[in-house]
Structure 1
Amino acid sequence: MRKSLFALSILSTFAASAHAQSTMTLYGILDEGVMINTNAKNVVNGKNVGGRQFSIDSNAGTQGSRWGLRGAEDLGGGMKAIFVLESGINVSTGAFGQGGTAFGRQAFVGLASSSLGSVTLGRQYDSINDYVGNYGFAAAYGGSTTEHPGDLDNVNHTFRANSTVKYASPNFNGLTFGGTVSLGGVAGEVSQSSGYSLGANYGHGPVGIAVAYELFRNPSALGSILNSNASATTFNSLNSGYLGTKPANSLQIITTGGSYDFGPAKIGAVYSNTRYMNIGAFGGASATFNSYELNGLYRFTPALSIAGEYNYTKGNAVRGDIGDQKYNQFSLLIDYALSKRTDVYFLGTFQTASGTSSTGAAAVADIGSLGDSSNNHQAVARIAIHHKF
């Protein structure tokens, strides 16, 4: 009996030691709601018969529904091995998100040091997401239906980078920085579909400011930054003319953002410049979009908050009036927390478009992940429940 108790004590000690050195967490978000789209596009026999659409949706909420596993193993000396496997899910149907990619949100493994930073390898977010993203309304509050048209600047991390090596620094008195390098994996063409991003953020007290830069070759090629999911991406009319037949051979994004916290109130701003360069269909010309965003949040109580955004996005004319397009967008979020893990909310976005799209047709509204509208104005409203586990 004494030997059995001694053996049990030894096993318990090892188990406690293993638990202290290694951790693994199952986590997730479920965001499901009723949504109305005033002008959803629907083409039947070549004719647009689109209009009002009602749906139950879990992909266009304040945070996309997901589940994931994250883990860490203590290697000693302030070093640990880390990993994340995260999958987007459609609660309405049970299907994978990100075009059916099993771990489409994130999938990486690497090493992290408390004094040197981390190096990770796999499918990952770029530096725009890591350093500027949370200054934008979509990533911080509203989700995909409040992102800039088509998420052209990737401030709401619609696009992930495959085959990526990432470095992220530790925090130096409020300063963090890092970068990514994505390998195209094309034999004999080292630069094809490859790219890199760099970013930095400084936060001190109520003030935060960040900047990021990104450049990708052949961005619309299968597996590259704009087409990295299991199924091929369909581009919307605001940029499909630059990414279809004879597409742009490179994509450059420069973006900056900042915020100021007043206690119960917070204001933020984001600017981005997106360039599709050397477009074959337009004789090597470049198309440029400039996007300006102002957002704010006010907390009436710890449970009740309201947030809003205005975004103006302008495209330049590439040939004649093709690409001379303008978008004005307003978003509103009212959120009430039932607990630390569960809240209910109302979310609405209204957008107007004008000018000529990249296809040469009249520009149409293009709210978030919903695709082209049936005309030049569109409104989306959503009432939903949001639960974290």
Structure 2
Amino acid sequence: MTGPPRTFMNDINAQRGLLLHLFHSALAAVDPLAVLAPHLPPAPKGRTIVIGAGKAAARMAQAVEQHWQGEIAGLVVTRYGHGAPTRHIEVIEAGHPVPDEASTTAAQRMLALVRGLGQDDLVLCLMSGGGSALLSLPAPGITLDDKRELTRRLLASGAPIGEINCVRRHLSAIKGGRLALACHPARVVTLVVSDVPGDDPAVVASGPTIPDGSRAADALAVLGKYGIAIPPAVRAVLDDGALAAPAIDDARLHGNRAVVIAGAQHALDAAASAARAAGYTPLILSGCMEGEARDVAIVHAGIARQVAAYGQPLPAPCVILSGGETTVTLRGGGRGGRNAEFLLALAIALKGMAGVHAIACDTDGIDGTEDNAGALLDPQSLARAALAGVDANARLIDNDGYGFFAALGDLVVTGPTRTNVNDFRAILVGAPAD
């Protein structure tokens, strides 16, 4: 026999179908078209200007147009390929995760759009993950190339998104609340689809309309922590107090508010409900996990083993759910985002453990910079890879999770989902009795 029995493959296909159902249930729960409307503010006496940035920005703009009562106009920027048709709010596309000239043009146009508003006007700001790169306007004295290079180095260093955004914020002419200052005296309401652990709206997209209280010294500390050389022009900006972001208690920002309308917890709760309906008891570990993807995988593998061996912290059949944003420190030259790396490390840690199936995907539909959302894992993944001459350990060393799962035909490809609450992971342990 050259492969697993047909009945075993039927079981694998059933488990895969369930894992994909859990993922799509999670996506549906954080679709801006489904969740934005209840959070819209009342129409103002004056004008309503809509601005926004992020991978969910176009979908959020669609939702506003569907439900807003009155006239609106505006501009949002999203990643290439993540646009959506709108009538009154212009959607433009720009580079991500490394900003390009379109990112700078978008920021300049947005600042021009909100200048000169009055106190009876409203700025409705739609922010989601990805906005840091998509809305990039370097502080005076530094160039876009300076920011691009620092962004590349930070992304390769394994730094968590909060630290990366701290640096971006203090090298920007629009982030850290600076865009809100340009809107003054108009009131600003920011609706947020959160992709950051903890759902702090000031961290999402580096907070263009929301100051976070950090200082330039904090950005310098991040660069020092990861051994990233600081060009003289960048240091000059960080040392210039006149370029500092507004304080949290800046009087010009009083009356503004921010609301997180969707985050990882919403996605995990929806997946948990779908799991219960399928006969699995859900265990939500956390919606704000961080750390190296391969290390997080080892922890998840340990929990799965404990469930299977001892029924702790809950008995099988169950599904272990988690979200957040892991990181990958690049050591090799392979292809693969953090979700593929997580699953490859999980496969190695589980060693083909019977009855365990898993999925890991990015909810924006793009795992890192690849064309897949993530991948699927089953008890036969390592054995099938070996038959195909694919060395799992070598692929992990080379950061080539994409190549490993592509060779098995196990990539999950959704295309842009137009939402973004970061990573989604589900591990099935055992199966319900017939």
Question: TM-score, normalized by length of structure 1?
Answer: 0.29
Question: TM-score, normalized by length of structure 2?
Answer: 0.27
Which has the higher relative contact order, 1 or 2, with Cα contacts under 8 A spaced 6 or more apart?
Answer: 2
User: Higher strand fraction: Structure 1 or Structure 2?
Assistant: 1
